[in-house]
Every structure is written in structure tokens, then in C-alpha cells.
Structure 1
Amino acid sequence: MYMSDDNKPIGWWLKEVDRLLEESFERVLAADGLNRRQWQALNAAAGPQKIAVALSPFLSDSATELAAVTNPLVEREWLTGDELTEAGERALAALNTKVQAQRRKITTGISDEEYLATVGVLKRMADNLG
């Protein structure tokens, strides 16, 4: 049975947007030899949260899986433990410029109010399910 776009449930759209976001950011970051999880690790290292905590929704509890994300960043001398190096700070600043441009492209035609309302609704749904 064919289901028109207007009749597709929220779960379908969540999966589709998630897939498209992943593909989109993977393409943007691939030019720098990175993947989205590595960018997220660098971003986490720039803030107060531990990398393992920041990536926990995206990785299993495996230390091996986390090391597969962070070891290449250590090898590039962008990361030591949970800390950014000076080179890592410069790399993250350059990457953030690309990521922000991609975010603007993704949210074209969406007002700040619409974006915040959507995030708010999704958060409440997650809270309801949790």
C-alpha cells in the first residue's frame, strides 16, 4: 500500500531526517578525513562534557568503539585524552565553519520559532517515552 508523504507518521520522518542528516554531515566532514562522530568528539572536548558521555547515545558501551573514534584524532595530534590540543582547537574552528554552513542549508525556510518548537516537541516526546 502506498502512503503519501502527508500520511507518513512521525517515526518515519524521524528516521528519514536522521538518515539524511548523517549522510549530509558525513559528506561535509569527509573532505577533512573525518566522520560525524569524530567531529562530535572534538566538539565535546571543547566543552565541559567527557567525550564518552557526549557520544554515548551514538556508540555502544564498548571502549573499543570509542577508541575507534578518538584514536585517529590523537594520531592527528588534535586530542589528548578528553582535551583539545592547540591544533585541535584550530581544526575544530575550521570544521565549525563548515558545519554551521551546512546547518544553515538544512534549516533554510525554517524560522527560529519553528525550529525551537520542533525540538521542544521532540524533547517532550522523548521524556514521555523515557
Structure 2
Amino acid sequence: MPDMEAQRPIGWWVRRLDALLEQAVDSAVAGEELTRRHWQVLHSLAEGASGDLRATLADFPGDVGAVVTDLVERGWVERSTDDGLTLTAEGRAGHDRVAAAVGRVRKHVADGLSAQEYEHAILVLGRMVENVQRALERPED
């Protein structure tokens, strides 16, 4: 990495990585006419989330309600009488197809990293998030 790139602050790298992930996931799921937001909703439901997806996905930009409506109209998600959401059989099959494409993106992200390096990067980023959250809770420090 050239010296100038090494001097960029963490925020630049995080924003750049997020923008590239957005582009890569959008590209990977485009064959299903989906976006990264669709993937996040589908995967959340596949993992058992059924309550307030807006709260589950609050850290991500985008209109979760519009994505849910689209997935309901496709027949991939159904609403229950208690306003819960579940994947239909077609939705589970779609999730599985999309999961394979997203898995390839994840593989590319970790290319050249050992499992330990990847885990360490996740731990470091998690710690940074906790540090900033803590600092925001105590602005006088």
C-alpha cells in the first residue's frame, strides 16, 4: 500500500469498504432484481427475525418497509395476522440462491486473509465501534 493510502484515517477506509460492499452485493443479487437491502431483509428473516425489521436493520440506510412490500408482492414474504413476517417456500429458495452469490462476495472480501486475520479485523472494528459509542455517551471526556 502506498504511503499516502496508509495515512488515510479509519473513517475513510470504513466508508470506502461500505461503498464497495454495497456495489458488490448489489451486483451479486442483481440477477434476482434485488438490492443489498433486500438481501439484509431476506437474511434477517431466514435467521429467524420476525418482529420489527426496521429496528433490526436500523444501522443500514434504505426503506425497509418498501423492501418488505416488494418481497411480499413477489410472494417471497408473507405477513401473519399478528403483523409478523415469514419467508415463503419461494422466499427460502430465493434466499438460498442469493446467499450463494453473497457468499462469493464475502469470500472475495476475505481473499488473502487468514481466518485469524479476518476474525481480528472484526474484533478491532467492533472495539472501535464500542469506543466511539462510549465516547458519545460521555461527551465531556
TM-score above 0.5, yes or no: yes
Tell me what 1:75 maps to: 73
The amino acid of 1:18's aligned partner reads: D
Name the residue aligned to 2:20: 20
Q: Residue 108 in 1 paired to residue 111 in 2?
A: yes
In 2, the alpha carbon distance for the partners of 1:59 and 1:25 equals 14
Deviation for aligned residue 1:67: 1.8
The AA in structure 2 aligned to 1:55 is: L
Counterpart position of 1:6:
6
Q: Does the aligned pair in 2 maintain the 1:37–1:55 contact within 8 Å?
A: no
* Distance across 2 between alignment mates of 1:127 and 1:48: 26
**Residue of structure 2 in register with 1:128 after alignment:** 131
How large is the RMSD of aligned CA atoms in angstroms?
1.5
Tell me how many residue pairs correspond in the alignment.
124
Matched, 1:30 2:30: yes
Of 91, 95, 100, the match for 1:92: 95
Structure 1 unaligned runs (5+)? none
**Between the two proteins, what is the percent identity of the paired residues?**
32
Matched position secondary structure for 1:4: helix
Please tell me whether Structure 1 or Structure 2 has the larger radius of gyration of its CA atoms.
2
Q: For the Cα contact (< 8 Å) 1:22–1:36, is it kept in 2?
A: yes
TM-score (ref. length: structure 1): 0.88
Q: TM-score, normalised by structure 2?
A: 0.82
**Cα deviation, residue 41, structure 1:** 0.4
Q: Tell me the amino acid that sits aligned with residue 73 of structure 1.
A: L
Q: Where do 5+ consecutive residues of structure 2 fail to align?
A: 80-84, 134-141
